[in-house]
Amino acid sequence: MNTAEIKLDLFRKIDQLNEPELKKLYSKFLAVLSSASTYKLTDSERSAVDEAIKASDSEQKYSHSEVIKEAKLKYPNLKFK
């Protein structure tokens, strides 16, 4: 199937939905479509990535257990495996 055929198939399937089904799936469609776009880092995320790259370049490395320990302190509500 080429791109045009895929789009037409999706359109037809969406067009066949009744109103309650469409309303139920609308937010899910939007979530899937927005997740397909490129994620843009915030300034703080970009800064954290840059800091991690610099630390890696200067051989400042942390063990998995050190990272988990610090993350649990910083984010106590998250569940870690």
Mean pLDDT of 66-74: 90
**Over 90: is that where the pLDDT of 40 sits?**
no
For the chain, give the percent of residues with pLDDT over 70.
100
Is residue 66 over pLDDT 80?
yes
Q: Which of 80, 54, 51, 60 is nearest to 68 (CA)?
A: 80
- The average confidence (pLDDT) of the chain is 88
pLDDT band at 58 (very low <50, low <70, confident <90, very high): confident
| 79 Ramachandran zone, left/alpha/beta (phi>0; psi -120 to 50) | beta
The confidence band for 32, taking pLDDT boundaries of 50, 70 and 90, is: confident
